Chain A
Amino acid sequence: MTEGEFDLAACLASVLEHDEEAARALVERLCPQVIHIVRRHLPKRAAEQDLAQEIFVKLFARLPDYQPQPAVPFEHWVSRLAVRTCLDALRAEKRRPELRWADLPKEQADWLEYMIADDSAPPESDAASARELLGRLLSQLKAEDRLVITLLDLDQKSVTEISQLTGWSKALVKVRAFRARRKLRKVAEIFQKRHVYERI
């Protein structure tokens, strides 16, 4: 089935009648969307494919309960399911990886120094380094804080969209984002102090 020919309603109806070909087509269609969400919110020690598989298994189990609504496309329902599953996986992560200056490659250390120092210019290093460093800093936060910052800053979702995806109220999203940023700053400061102490 090509992109233009894909009839979602017919596919969903076939999946509900245990049509394996339709189920395969649905997985193939939704995979990029699910993989994208999983990569954004993947816990450090979890496998990308395992989490994506868990999302699809939940999706098929809950499909009979799905009620099509004109304002809420099916993809949105899938996103919500994926985000909540990722949040559960992040919550289940018992230990957060320890952040140490010595473990940072130079490019990432430059970015971190730029963020906490007062008088430095943005480093010239590549975007991948900045992304890696953000991942390391975010891994120090609680699951909810990490999720809200990722959705708000990296995915550039609005507060309303985050509210719909997570089921939290708009006020709660704003409060969590504010607190998460404050915690991020604290993490960076503690990290810097520890680094200064190690150098002495």
Chain B
Amino acid sequence: MKEFDKRWQICVAKARQAAPRPESLPLGFAMRVLSQKRPTMENGLEVVWERLAMRLMAAMAGVLLVCAALDLPNLRAAPWLKPGIENTVCQVVWKL
């Protein structure tokens, strides 16, 4: 372990000698950051609404599923519409 550590440190010391790459600003980077910054500062309410809207949608989907589950026994028991009635409705709608 100690031998490995010693050799690791020699490798690290050599790696530190590597010429650093220029840490200059990439072209257009500041503009890119500022365009991202605007929504967080100016449209804070929109962000809040987006977050709440997603949660609201999830809650509503849950409510719908619960309603469907509760109504399932009635759905099975309910008789299907008779073909005669269906045809009559179709004819009325078609004439309109």
B21–A127 touching, CB < 8 Å: no
Q: Which residues from chain B contact A20 at a C-beta distance below 8 Å?
A: 34
Least CB distance, A200 to chain B, in whole angstroms: 24
> Does B1 reach chain A (CB closer than 8 Å)?
yes
> Does B41 reach chain A (CB closer than 8 Å)?
yes
Q: How far is the CA of A31 from the CA of B34 in the complex (A)?
A: 13
* Chain B residues bordering chain A, tally (CB within 8 A): 32
> Does B15 reach chain A (CB closer than 8 Å)?
yes
Least CB distance, A159 to chain B, in whole angstroms: 16
Question: Main secondary structure on chain B at its contact with chain A?
Answer: helix
Q: Kindly supply a per-residue 1/0 record for chain A positions 49-75, scoring 1 wherever the CB is within 8 Å of any chain B CB and 0 otherwise.
A: 100110011001100000000000000
Least CB distance, B21 to chain A, in whole angstroms: 7
A114–B11 touching, CB < 8 Å: yes
- B34's partner among A23, A39, A61 (CB-CB below 8 A) is A23
Q: Which residues from chain B contact A45 at a C-beta distance below 8 Å?
A: none
> Does B86 reach chain A (CB closer than 8 Å)?
no
> Does B71 reach chain A (CB closer than 8 Å)?
no
Q: Kindly supply a per-residue 1/0 record for chain B positions 1-44, scoring 1 wherever the CB is within 8 Å of any chain A CB and 0 otherwise.
A: 10111011111101111110101111001111110110011100
> Does A181 reach chain B (CB closer than 8 Å)?
yes
Given contacts A32-B23, A32-B24, A185-B1, whether A27 and B7 have CB atoms under 8 Å apart is: no
> Does A103 reach chain B (CB closer than 8 Å)?
no
Kindly specify which of A5-13, A84-92, A128-136, A164-172 makes contact with the partner chain: A128-136
- Seen from chain B, the residues whose Cβ lies within 8 Å of a Cβ on chain A are 1, 3-5, 7-12, 14-19, 21, 23-26, 29-34, 36-37, 40-42
